[in-house]
Amino acid sequence: MFFIYDNLAATLVAMAVMLVLLSMQQRMRDVSIEQVGMYTAKKQSLDFGLWMRDDIANIGLGVSGAPVVAHTPHATLPGMTSTFTFLKKLNPSDPTPATISYQLEEVYETDGVTQQTIQVDTLAVPLFEVHRYVNGTLDGKSAPYITYFAIDLLDVNGASVAGVLALTQQVRMTFSMGVPYASRSYVRETHWGATVQVN
């Protein structure tokens, strides 16, 4: 104790140095967690995006008429798509094309009633997942972190077909995915988009 009192100034300086070093270590740990969260979201986002793009890129394959069957905007969330259904042959040898449907489904807490959310800035953003159905049977889905999902049907010049499905020449896909631990993250959402030509 006498030693500390004898070197009071040095002790205070040493404590200050230790405090700064500890806070630096804490900060780097937080940034590392952010990077892992961001990497996870990015990987899930790219995996899902490329998988969906490859699927939709062959829209209308082996179909004689208009390949887009249904496109339903979300009832309450502006710009988002609830259902997108189209036809294509999964294999060239198939006698008839398959009906493939992408549907946006809410993600619920374990109570089955409350929709899960993710904190982005001051907003609690609802979470979704996108399900893919082939002839009515579930055949794959995205990670349950989708915060925005839009399929836009465009004509040859990139303008909206405004509900006339037969005019569809291009399909633009856009979605956003929440980053895990978003409330502590600098980047809260990751985004992905692509446009493909209809066969």
Contacting residues toward other proteins, per CB under 8 A? 7, 9-10, 13-14, 16-17, 20-21, 24, 27-28, 31, 35, 38, 42, 46, 77-79, 125, 147-148, 150, 152, 156-159, 169-170, 172, 174, 176, 186-187, 189-197
The structure tokens listed for 107 are: 């993600």
CA gap 134, 192 in Å, rounded: 24
CB of 102 to other proteins, least distance (A): 17
State which residue, 138 or 156, has the beta carbon closest to other proteins.
156
* Closer by beta carbon to other proteins, 138 or else 193: 193
Closest CA to 36 of 174, 187, 193, 192: 187
C-beta of 98 vs 151, nearer to other proteins: 151
Residue 38 beta carbon to other proteins: minimum distance, rounded to whole angstroms: 6
- Determine the Cα–Cα distance for residues 66 and 168; give it in Å rounded to an integer: 8
12/138 with CB nearer other proteins? 12
Q: How far is CA 90 from CA 59, 71, 188, in A?
A: 10, 20, 36
For 62, left (φ over 0), alpha (ψ -120 to 50), or beta?
A: left
Q: C-beta of 32: minimal distance to other proteins in Å?
A: 10
Closest CB 134 distance from other proteins, rounded Å: 25
Dump the DSSP string for 82-143.
Answer: EEEEEEE-SSTT-SS-EEEEEEEEE-B-TTSSSBPEEEETTEEEEPEEEEEEETTEEEEE--
Q: Tell me the pairing of strands 81-88 and 98-106.
A: antiparallel
- Nearer Cβ to other proteins (108/186): 186
CB of 154 to other proteins, least distance (A): 8
Beta carbon of residue 24, minimum distance to other proteins (angstroms, whole number): 5
Which residue's CB is nearer to other proteins, number 6 or number 111? 6
DSSP letter for 64, please: S
